Structure 1
Amino acid sequence: MPSTLVHVALAGLLAAALLPDRYATRGAMLAVLLAAALPDLDSLVSPVLAGAHRSLGHNVLLPALVTVALGYDLRVRDSSRLRDRFGTAASPVAWTCLAAFLLAGVGLDYVSNGVNLFWPVHDRFYSLNGDLLLSSRRGVVQSFVDLSPPTESEPVRTTENLHYSTGVDPSPGVESGTVDRVFPVVSAGWQLLLVAVGALAVALKLRRGPTVRD
């Protein structure tokens, strides 16, 4: 599964694409990168709350609430608290942080190993995996959407029967003192490439950022 570093690298690409140059300061870029790392903090809760990892911080309900709060403050209120505190940069930086949290933080895990999208309202892990093919004999073939009911061999995945191993919480229950705690950095060539490209994008954005003026 993608490490936190890989999530941060994708957030760097989002920051380079979404942040206007005049707002691309070190502080703004750091805020976006940290936003992508926030979902993985639920692994720290996993030892005391079973199934917290990929549930507590990896759902769409939290970003939905933040979206409503940002929309109200930045679009509805006569005087925005964020703008009063951080100036005109507040809006683009806040929305880019939200995009990083949702897409780089939650989304990347959603298309990898799965996340508990609607926790705690609905306890079920979902993942977006499959193929989209153009076949000369079968036409358009896709396997992303599978409406077949779960079977006994493939039961519905919930916090009761699914545990994601992390360096903080390698296995359910209490680990022995000799347990191997693994903290992944990169685990595939595409992840290493993403980290390198993300770092390059952030560096180039910072280089051309706040010096550009309208």
Structure 2
Amino acid sequence: MPSTVVHVGFAILLAAGLLKGAFDRRALAIILVIVVLPEADTLAGPWMDGAHRALLHTLTIPIVAGAWLTWDTRLREPEQSWLRTRWGDWGVRVAWVALFVHLFAHVLLDWAHLEGINLFYPVYDRFFRLEGELVLSSSEGLVQTFVEIHTDPETGDRTADAGAVGTTADTHVANPVELSAEPEPDDPILLPIAESGWQLYLALTGVFVLVARRFQDRRDE
């Protein structure tokens, strides 16, 4: 699965692109805390089955947070907004970017790895993994397998497969707090950094962008 280093690298890319006029050390610190926070659900693993990738890796949190941010910063009058009156426009921008970073740099990134994430926990307890392909074929035309429709030849009933895996009762995603059922004794990984070329590339790109922004800020001073 993507390591915390990869999540951080992707978060820096998003923050650099979205925090126009608000990309400072304080904003970056908030963004990095937000992007790392979902990993805290590993701590509940010893007491709750399937806690990792369920408790804090769910779309329920960003949906609720997004609804509140929309109400507080878009629908209310500026002088009534809790966030705007305390932190100004800077706080509003950082809050929205933090939400996007949480969603795209962590939750949805994990959706495509290992057993995926529990998309709508606790409203609906089911892990989903984003797996498939989308191609344009010269013989079959547009082909996608991310959501597959199966038809029962006997009854004609149709069912959709969107990558459902299991529930918290029978799905375990290995993590430093709870290793897999059969951990490799000869490969004691203490801190995964990059487990594939694209992960290393993404992490290093994030570091490059952070350094580049720092040089740009110095030049503008």
- Distance across 1 between alignment mates of 2:160 and 2:84: 49
Asked if 2 retains the 8 angstrom alpha-carbon contact of 1:115 and 1:126, the reply is yes
Residue in 2 aligned with 1:67?
A: 66
Match of 2:97 in 1: 96
In 2: Cα distance, 1:34 partner to 1:107 partner: 17
Give 1:150 shift: 9.0
CA gap of 1:122–1:132, structure 2 versus 1, over 3 A, is same
Residue pairs, 1:172-187, within 5 angstroms: 182-187=190-195
Correspondence list, 1:104-119, <5 A: 104-113=105-114, 114-119=116-121
Amino acid at match of 1:99: F
TM-score in terms of structure 2 length: 0.83
Aligned counterparts, 1:6-85, within 5 A: 6-20=6-20, 22-78=21-77, 79-85=80-86
- Alpha-carbon distance in structure 2 between the residues aligned to 1:162 and 1:203: 40
Q: From 167, 170, 174, give the equivalent of 2:179.
A: 170
2:133 maps to 131
More strand by percentage: 2
Shift of 1:25: 0.5
Q: How far apart are residue 40 of structure 1 and its match?
A: 1.4
The unaligned stretches of length 5 or more in structure 1 are: none
| Contact 2:126–2:168, Cα closer than 8 Å, also in 1 | yes
The question of whether the paired residues in 1 share the 8 Å contact of 2:118 and 2:128 is answered with: yes
Show the counterpart of 2:203: 195
Q: What RMSD over aligned residues (CA atoms) do the two structures have, in Å?
A: 2.6
What's 1:147 paired with? 149
Q: Secondary structure at the match of 1:192?
A: helix
Contact 2:128 2:164 survives alignment (8 Å): no
Cα displacement string for residues 90-147 of structure 1 (whole angstroms, at most 9, x for unaligned residues):
1111100000001111010012231000111111111111111111111111111123
- Is the contact made by 2:59 and 2:119 (CA closer than 8 Å) also made in structure 1? yes
- Amino acid aligned to 1:126: F
Encode CA deviations 1:48-81: one digit per residue, 9 max, x unaligned: 1111100000111111111122122212333222
Whether contact under 8 Å (1:58, 1:115) holds in the other structure is: yes
User: 1:2 is matched by which residue type in structure 2?
Assistant: P
SS at match of 1:36: helix
How many Å separate the matches in 2 of 1:163 and 1:11?
Answer: 26
CA distance in 2 between partners of 1:209 and 1:31 (Å): 19
Does the 8 Å CA contact 2:128/2:165 hold for their aligned counterparts?
no
- Structure 2 unpaired stretches of 5+: 151-158
Residue type at the aligned position of 1:168: V
- With CA pairs under 8 Å and 6+ residues apart, which has the higher RCO, 1 or 2? 1
